Amino acid sequence: MSRDLPNPGWGPLSTLPGNPLMWVLILSEMLVFTAFFALYAGQRALDPALFNASQQQLDPLLGGLNTLVLLTSGLCVALAVEAISVGRMQRTRLWLGAAMLLGLLFCGIKLIEYTDKFSAGLTPETNAFFGFYYGLTAFHFAHVLFGLALLGLVSWRTSTENVETAAAFWHMVDLIWILLYPLIYLLR
């Protein structure tokens, strides 16, 4: 029976695909972001007028574009895992490279957005909404940077386990952004 499990010897984690410790990280990161989202939702409930007025200063189209970019980079990473599973090293590196380029594009768009807001005098100290906006998106941005470093590392030290682990982290970054985008940009 244990021979059929992806990670025999890991107890309850043994049925999870890929590196079990990455799943522990994914779960803990999701819990941390859920706590922040709940805090944001609570603050919004206390002062919806301020949050609505502040949300108008954002560019939801840029946020949407970044969603499309990040989800496409997620596809590239998943295709890299498919490629490494059949031993196609060159193709794996190609998909990882494409994912990294898209990740950099995400960062570029985000930096344009930050620059635009800062030049309009909208800083984390402007009000509670912008405190959350910068706090949540910058925390996510830090994860994107870490994910890019991981993808770079596994492009160099390419193995099935390494690519699977980095891919799982990158998909978690996708997942958090999927929840962050409507919360900050869309719901008004």
Partner 1 sequence: MTALPGTRRLFITWVMLMGLTGVSMVSARLDQTTDWQTLSLWSVALVLVATAFKAHRVLMVYLNLRAATPAWKGIFIGLILVTLALIAAGYLAGRFNLMG
- How far, in Å, are 87, 94, 100, 148, 163 from residue 82 at the CA level? 9, 12, 17, 19, 10
- Between 45 and 156, whose beta carbon lies closer to partner 1? 45
Stretch that binds partner 1, among 10-18, 96-104, 110-118, 147-155 (CB under 8 A): 10-18
Q: How far is the CB of 56 from partner 1 (least distance, A)?
A: 5
| Contact predicate 95/167, CB 8 Å | no
Q: Please give the span between the terminal C-alpha atoms of the chain, in angstroms, as a whole number.
A: 51
Does position 147 bind partner 1 by CB under 8 A? no
Query: What distance lies between CA 65 and its chain's CA centroid?
Result: 14
Pick from 2, 11, 61, 119 the residue near partner 1 by CB under 8 A: 61
Is residue 129 near partner 1 by the rule CB under 8 A?
A: no
User: Applying CB under 8 A, does 123 fall inside the site for partner 1?
Assistant: no
Of 10, 25, 72, 105, the one binding partner 1 by CB under 8 A: 72
User: Quick one: 27 exposed, middle or buried, by C-beta within 10 A (0-12, 13-18, 19+)?
Assistant: exposed
Rule CB under 8 A: is residue 8 a binding residue for partner 1?
Answer: no
- The answer to whether 47 and 37 are in contact (CB under 8 A) is no
Q: Which residues of 154-177 are buried (b: 16+ CB within 10 A; e: fewer)?
A: bbeebeeebbbbbbbbbbbbbbbb
DSSP 8-state assignment for residue 127: -
Binding mask 27-46 for partner 1 (x = CB under 8 A): x--xx-xx--xx-xxxxxxx
Give the helix ranges, DSSP H, for the chain: 20-46, 48-55, 60-85, 89-119, 128-156, 160-181
The answer to whether 135 contacts partner 1 (rule: CB under 8 A) is no
Residue 143 interacting with partner 1 (CB under 8 A): no
Q: Is 90 in the site for partner 1 (CB under 8 A)?
A: no
Q: Is 47 in the site for partner 1 (CB under 8 A)?
A: yes
Q: Residues interacting with partner 1, by CB under 8 A? A: 6, 15-18, 26-27, 30-31, 33-34, 37-38, 40-48, 51-52, 56, 60-61, 64, 67-68, 71-72, 74-75, 77-79, 81-82, 85, 160, 164, 168, 171-172, 174-175, 178-179, 181-183, 185-188
